[in-house]
Structure 1
C-alpha cells in the first residue's frame, strides 16, 4: 500500500518536472538563460506548477491618457467631455465666489474702479505738469482740484437751468396731457369721460397702494447717502494716490509674482494701462462731440434744458450704444412735450444722425484698432454690468473688457516681451 503511494508520488513529480521543462523550452528567454548556464546538465529543482500566461486582452497597451484598465473601458470622447466638465465647474465656482466677494465689498471695489478711470483720464495732464518741473504731489493736487472744480461747476449750471425751466416745462406737460385726453376722446379709441375717469382712479389707487413701498425705497435711498459720501471720498483719495504713486503701486504688485512671470505680467499690465488711457480719452472726445452736436440743435429749436440735456448726452456717451440711445430719447421726449411732434421728429433725426456719425466714423477713427471691441461683447458686457452693479457696472464693464482683451492678447503672444527699463530693478529688488 505504501509502495503504491510512493510510486504515484514519483509519477506526479515526474509530470511536474516535464511540464516545467517544456515551459522553459517554449520560452526564448528561458532557452537563452539555459544556454548561458554554466551547468546545463544540472537537474532542475522541483517547484510549484507554472502560472498560466495572462489573458491576451489584459496585456493590451493602455491609452496614454488613461491610468487604469477601468479608464480604458470608458470611451475617449466621454473622458474628454468629463475632463472639460469638471474644469468648467471649478472655473464657474471660482467666478461665482469672486462675484460674491465683489458684491460684498462693492462699496470699495466700485470707487476704486471709478478712480482708475479718472486716473486714466487725468494722467496725461499730470504728465504735462511734470514736464515743466512741478513736483509730482503738487502736479497731482492741481489736476485733481481742477477736475473737481470742473465737475462741481457743471453740476451747478445744470441744476440752476433745471430749476429755472421746470415751471415752463410743467405747463407744457399739462397742456400735452390735455391734448392726449382730447385725442383719446375724439380719436380712434373714442373713450368716454367715465372711462377716462375710471382709468385715472385706477392709477391713483395704484399709487395709494404702493405708497408704502415707494416710501421704503426713499428711506433706503436716504440710507445710502452715507455710502455715497464714503465712496466719493474714497474715489478722491484713490485717484490722488493712483496719479502720484501709480508706478510704485504697480511695481509692488509685480514683485508679488514669481520671478519667471514678472516680465510678461509687467508687459501685459503696461499695455493694458495704455489701452485704458486711450479708451477713456477717446470716449471723452466722442462724448464731447456728441453733446455739442445735439446741444446746438436743441438751442436752435429753443428746446428747454438744452444745457442739462447736452450734459446728459455727454455722460450717456460713456456707456456705448445704450447710453447714447437713452439720453437721446430723453431729449426727444422733452422736445415732444415742449414743442410738438414735428420738432420732436427733427430732434430724433438729429440724435440718430449723430449716433451714426459716432459709431461709423468717430469711434473707429479716434479709438483705432487698439481698443476695438465687437458690438456683441459690448452689449453682453453692459448687460452683465447692469445686473451686477447697476449704472456703475454699465459704465465700468466696457473699459474692463477692453483692458482684459489687451492683457489676454499680450499674455498669449508667444514671443518674449521686450524687457521694460525697470525690469532689472524689479528683479533686483525682489525678495
Structure 2
C-alpha cells in the first residue's frame, strides 16, 4: 500500500527528530557558511581579473580622502569648486614631483660614493674570509665568485624574462596612475553624486542601511589613512634624522623609502628598517650598523607602543593580530597592492558591519535613518534630492532639485556644511 503524503511527511519529521538538535544546527550553519565562502572566493577571483580597474579606484579613493579637506578649505574662501579641485590636484602633483626630483638628485650625487664604499666593504669581507675563522684561501674565494657568475649566466634567460615582465608592469603602473588621477578629479568634483547614484540602484528598503554604512566606512578609511600618514611621517623623520647624524649615506632617500614602506603595516617597517641597517653596514661598517639598528628599533617601539595605541586605536578599532593576518592575506592574494589596501578595506568592512548589525540607521535621526534628514539637513536616501554628507567628496549644489533649491532659499533646509561631523548619533 502506497503511503499517503501525510504518512510520508510524518516519517520525514520523525527522521529529522531522530537527528540531535546540535547536529541539525551545525549542518544548517555549515552549508550557509560554505556558500558564503564560495561567494567570497568567486568575488576575489573576479576582482583579480579586473585589478587593473580596482587598484586605480582604491588609490583615487584614498587620495580623495586626503585631499578633500584642502578642497573644502578653498571653497570656504569663495574659490569655485572646479578651480579648488584643480588647485588641489596640481599642488599635490607638484609636491610629489618636487620630492621625487630631490630624492633623485640625492641618489645621483651619493651613488658614486656609496659604490666605492660598497667595494671597500666587499674587500673587507674577503679579508675576513681569508684571515677569520673560516681560513678560506684566495683560490677558494675566487672559485665561489666564479660559481656565482656562472649561476647568473645560466639563468640569464630568466633574468631577461623578469626584466621584460618588469617593463610591462611599469607600463601598466603608468596607465593605472593616469586612470587613478582621472578618477580622483571626478571623486573630488562629483563624489557625492556618484555615491547617491550607487545607493539608488538598490531596493528602497536597503538604501538607508547602505547609505549609513557606506558613510561610516568612508569616514573610518579616511581616518586610517590620515593617521597612517602621520605615523609614516614620524617614522621617516626619526630614521632619516638618525641616519644623517651617524653619517649614513643617502639619508634622504632612505627617509622617503621608510615613509612609503610605513603604509604596509608591520611588514613595511621591518623591510625598510632592514634596508637602513644594511646600508649602514655596507657604508660604515658593523659598529655603525648596530647604531642604526638601535635607532630603527627605538623609532619602531615609539610607534608601536605610543603612537599606534594613542591615535590609531581611536580611529580604527582593529586588533594587531587582525592587522597582521589581513596584511598576510592581502599580500598573498594581490601582492603589494593587497598589502597596501588590506587594512583600509578591513577597517571599512568592520565599521560597516557593526553599523548594519546594530541597525544604527533606525534611530538617532543620523545619516541613513529612514525618512530622517542627514547631518546637513537634506533628505536621506529615500528623498528626492542628492545625498549630503561631510565625509564624502561633494560638488556644488547645482544638481539639487527645484524643491530643494526653494527650501534652501526659504531656510527650511540649511546650506551644505562640508566640515560637519557625520559620526554623531551613531
Q: What TM-score does the superposition give when structure 2 sets the normalisation length?
A: 0.82
What does residue 424 of structure 2 align with?
A: none
What does residue 109 of structure 1 align with?
A: 54
In 1, distance between residues paired with 2:366 and 2:282? Answer: 61
CA drift of 1:404 comes to 1.1
What does residue 23 of structure 1 align with?
A: none
Are the counterparts in 2 of residues 118 and 239 from structure 1 also a CA contact under 8 Å?
yes
CA drift of 1:59 comes to 11
Structure-to-structure mapping, 1:8-407, within 5 angstroms? 68-407=13-352
Q: Unpaired runs of 5+ in structure 2?
A: 368-372, 386-426
In 1, distance between residues paired with 2:202 and 2:41? Answer: 24
SS in 1 for 2:290: helix
What's the Cα RMSD here?
A: 2.2
In 1, distance between residues paired with 2:217 and 2:25? Answer: 34
**Correspondence for 2:357 among 412, 420, 423:** 412
SS in 1 for 2:381: helix
What does residue 426 of structure 1 align with?
A: 381
Given the superposition, is the C-alpha separation of residues 362 and 211 from structure 1 closer, same or farther in structure 2, using an over 3 Å criterion? same
After superposition, the C-alpha distances for 1:87-109 in whole angstroms (9 at most, x for unaligned) are 22211221111111111111000
SS in 2 for 1:429: coil
Range with bigger deviation, 171-180 or 86-95? 86-95
Q: Unpaired runs of 5+ in structure 1?
A: 1-50
In 2, distance between residues paired with 1:77 and 1:190? Answer: 69
Are the counterparts in 2 of residues 313 and 327 from structure 1 also a CA contact under 8 Å?
yes
In 2, distance between residues paired with 1:229 and 1:339? Answer: 37
In 2, distance between residues paired with 1:98 and 1:150? Answer: 37
Q: What TM-score does the superposition give when structure 1 sets the normalisation length?
A: 0.81
CA drift of 1:309 comes to 0.3
In 2, distance between residues paired with 1:257 and 1:135? Answer: 33
In 2, distance between residues paired with 1:211 and 1:315? Answer: 31
Range with bigger deviation, 323-332 or 78-87? 78-87
Q: Which has the larger radius of gyration?
A: 1
In 2, distance between residues paired with 1:59 and 1:174? Answer: 87
The alignment of Structure 1 onto Structure 2 pairs a total of residues equal to 371
In 2, distance between residues paired with 1:60 and 1:313? Answer: 69
SS in 2 for 1:275: helix
CA drift of 1:60 comes to 12
